[in-house]
Structure 1
């Protein structure tokens, strides 16, 4: 077991995971700017992209390239740099590090050596798009990029078909239509939202059934960075056919008969084929909170 006291004095430097804007430079946080200015080195997925950001905010900190093709070779040097007492900010091209870049391997190496790893909150395309999508935000699952081959995609969707959670994917604009077609063949015609150019001038949300969005894309080819957000199996909200008062009554009756709250919630959800999280939220009045 290991306990990290993030801001307790340490003989080592700190590995900071710094989010960068996913499009709009104004989404850069004050804390992120401060860290980028004060660390000894910035490990960037693409030094050209990060260079534009640093130039915009007049940050002179030195960069080093750190991406999937050189990570195995660079990690020992970065760890030695941190062990010497100097700090590093790791950044991806856009959004949070470690999600779609080799940052996770660097994090594991730092943790193994007892080096503090500090993440900064900031822009994340998946969550940013989810909360404006109109689909149920909780629970959700983020998968990132999908397999490219149709057979692999369909096999992936077969595995996730019965998941009740809203699902978030990244996809190339050139593959979205084919991906949606593969999804349709496995999931059926669920509700989906395709989001493109998030935070940029041409930001767009395409909301509808999978077939409706495919038809729209046929006449309006996609451009720019894209996400696909699709409803989970139970997002038809059959579980909402029961009024909240009915759910509360059933849960409270089971509790009065000796079950613990969580046992009662699980039993009601299973017996009436409801979303367990929704029953939990109803019982604890979380649906009324904002």
Structure 2
């Protein structure tokens, strides 16, 4: 049997009783980095064989895990923090398990998405988790364009060194919207920042961030506006006239020269 086990995102006391029990009973624990996993195991007195499972060796590591399972071993898979597969390795292994018809389950627990939503003050009835943005600008722009008109709250992960760049990309894609950044969730220096995408405040960038952005309006509703109002809407959000016209033309499916 294979167990994906959620682990704390900062506060080791957030580990669940069931999670500790499963790790204690496993023959092998597959982890991204032993330096992150060992403090947790030491906290709960767990001593097990550790193997590496990360995005750089997913294929080879998955094959080894499959062999262990077929040999009758119980394997637990953890990420450095939070729930496996949520912006962490594991998807390749799930496909392999399904292909081999091997049993697996999840021991639920901590993740950064839901606590950040709870603290955000934005709508929580519908949300879309995007995770980390792609490095390439073309890929990033294409990805964000697909979420532009969704009315749901958008949730992003962000490393500290990418914070200003990420907010600038979000502003370029969505215009000026309400946003919230939460850092160091569950830790001593947990902090919440509220701002708009056009006026990102000066903040201490140390720590891991979750950025949440309010949802947009449907393109159908926007296209029903008079053209002048449609363009004025984006001008009010801080876009240049050319950027606003380009965006309106794209949403209405007409050439820029017609506006």
Does the 8 Å CA contact 2:182/2:192 hold for their aligned counterparts?
yes
Alpha-carbon displacement from aligned partner over 1:138-176 (angstroms, at most 9, x marks no partner) = 211111110124444333222221111111011111211
Write out the 4+ residue segments of structure 1 that deviate beyond 4 Å after TM superposition. none
Alignment correspondent of 1:226: 209
Correspondence 1:25 to 2:12:
yes
CA deviation string 1:152-208 (max 9, x = no partner): 433322222111111101111121112111211221111101111111111011112
| Secondary structure in structure 1 of the residue aligned to 2:160 | coil
Whether 2:195 is the aligned partner of 1:211: answer no
**Other-structure match for 2:65:** 78
**The one of 133, 138, 153 aligned to 2:120:** 133
Write the deviation string for residues 55-95 of structure 1: whole angstroms up to 9, x where unpaired: 11110111111111112112111101101111100000000
What is the correspondence of 1:275-290 to structure 2 with a 5 Å cutoff?
Answer: none
1:183 aligns with one of 167, 170, 189? 170
Instruction: Tell me if the contact between 1:192 and 1:210 (Cα under 8 Å) persists in the aligned partners.
Output: yes
The residue aligned with 1:169 is 156
> Aligned to 1:143, which of 90, 110, 130?
130
Measure the CA separation in 2 of the matches of 1:233 and 1:38: 47
1:121 corresponds, among 92, 108, 111, to 108
Q: Count residues with an aligned counterpart.
A: 219
TM-score (norm 2): 0.80
Aligned residue in 1 for 2:145: 158
Q: In the TM superposition, what is the alpha-carbon distance from 1:28 to its structure 2 partner?
A: 0.3
1:54 paired to 2:37: no
Q: Which moved more, 1:152-161 or 1:39-48?
A: 152-161
After superposition, residues 96-115 of structure 1 pair within 5 angstroms as: 96-115=83-102
CA distance in 1, matches of 2:99, 2:145: 37
Task: For 1:192 and 1:65, locate their aligned partners in 2 and report how far apart those are by CA, in whole Å.
Answer: 37
Question: 1:94 aligned to 2:81?
Answer: yes
The alpha-carbon deviation at position 130 of structure 1 amounts to: 0.8
Q: Which residue of 1 aligns with 2:239?
A: none
Question: Which consecutive unaligned segments of at least 5 residues does structure 1 have?
Answer: 1-13, 239-290
